[in-house]
């Protein structure tokens, strides 16, 4: 009797284990295989990783997904109104930068901008700085992950990560007012990153991506 009970429990346990394994496999299969991506550009402020098998030259248009906020840590968490404003800044900047490329024909590449971190500007410190040395002394910054997705298949085929703090040449004297706004300097960085992203994608479309290939690019105006 005890042997039958033990065998029955063993069968139930095995069935549960198989079902759990199948569920785990199915869940993982839906995730992008980013571990197979190749790094084609690696800088402190700009990282590009792509699927080397993707035909980057085939995309005739870009599709821009709405910006989202997914903080990578708790150091610089944003308020709800700040998130909305920065998402608007990012959407507006990308829309302006890619205006001509969104109406092209052929396969489309979808760009999904994800704001992962944002450093506010200390406006009081900059008031003191301009009074003392006529220059900002507090600098904001932003980090964005741009996921690149084949619009037809829905597969992620690349990612561009940008992480920068503002520098004097980004915000002075060209954007003096931004030094006295909490979100000002970081917003300047987001706009600059949009322009650099376009150059990154245009360059990817022109070259044959191979493992360990390094993308040589000119820094965008105002970039580090």
In contact, 143 and 72? CB cutoff 8 Å: yes
Query: In this predicted structure, what is the pLDDT of residue 5?
Result: 42
Structure tokens at 138: 């507090």
Kindly report, residue by residue over 166-191, the tens digit of the pLDDT.
Answer: 887 766 666 777 777 888 888 888 98
Structure tokens at 97: 């930068």
Q: Calculate the average pLDDT of the chain.
A: 76
In contact, 149 and 157? CB cutoff 8 Å: yes
In contact, 48 and 41? CB cutoff 8 Å: yes
**pLDDT over 80 at 27, yes or no:** no
Residue among 54, 9, 58 nearest 36 (CA): 54
In contact, 186 and 86? CB cutoff 8 Å: yes
Query: In this predicted structure, what is the pLDDT of residue 173?
Result: 66
Pick 17 or 162 by higher pLDDT: 162
Query: In this predicted structure, what is the pLDDT of residue 24?
Result: 33
Q: With 0-12 CB in 10 A as exposed, 13-18 as middle and 19+ as buried, what is 36?
A: exposed
> Which range, 33-42, 82-91, 126-135, 155-164, is most confident?
82-91
Which are the contacts of 135, defined by CB distance < 8 A and separation ≥ 6? 129, 168, 172
Q: Please give the distance of CA 223 from its chain centroid, rounded to a whole number.
A: 17
Residues 99-115 as b/e (b if ≥16 CB within 10 A, e otherwise) read: eebeeeeeebbbbbbbb
Confidence label for 199 from pLDDT (cuts 50, 70 and 90): confident
67, 98, 109 from 113: Cα distances, Å: 5, 13, 13
**pLDDT over 50 at 114, yes or no:** yes
Query: In this predicted structure, what is the pLDDT of residue 89?
Result: 94
pLDDT > 70: what percent of the chain?
A: 71
**pLDDT over 90 at 146, yes or no:** yes
Query: In this predicted structure, what is the pLDDT of residue 148?
Result: 94
Strands of the chain (E only): list them.
Answer: 38-42, 46-50, 61-64, 68-69, 108-119, 141-150, 156-165
Average pLDDT over residues 151-162: 90
Q: Are strands 61-64 and 108-119 parallel, antiparallel or unpaired?
A: parallel
């Amino acid at each position: 009797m005890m042997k039958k009970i033990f065998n029955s429990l063993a069968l139930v346990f095995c069935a549960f284990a198989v079902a759990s394994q199948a569920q785990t496999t199915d869940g993982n299969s839906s995730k992008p295989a980013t571990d197979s991506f190749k790094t084609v550009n690696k800088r402190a402020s700009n990282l590009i990783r792509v699927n080397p098998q993707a035909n980057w030259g085939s995309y005739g248009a870009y599709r821009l997904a709405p910006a989202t906020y997914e903080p990578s840590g708790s150091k610089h968490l944003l308020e709800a109104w700040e998130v909305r404003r920065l998402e608007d800044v990012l959407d507006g900047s990308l829309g302006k930068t890619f205006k001509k490329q969104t109406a092209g024909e052929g396969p489309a590449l979808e760009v999904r901008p994800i704001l992962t971190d944002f450093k506010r500007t200390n406006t009081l410190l900059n008031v003191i700085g301009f009074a003392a040395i006529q220059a900002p002394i507090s600098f904001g910054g932003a980090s964005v992950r741009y996921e690149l997705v084949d619009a037809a298949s829905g597969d992620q085929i690349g990612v561009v990560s940008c992480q920068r703090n503002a520098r004097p040449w980004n915000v002075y004297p060209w954007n003096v007012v931004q030094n006295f706004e909490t979100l000002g300097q970081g917003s300047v960085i987001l706009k600059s990153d949009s322009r650099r992203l376009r150059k990154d994608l245009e360059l990817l479309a022109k070259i044959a991506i191979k493992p360990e290939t390094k993308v040589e690019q000119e820094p965008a105006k105002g970039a580090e």
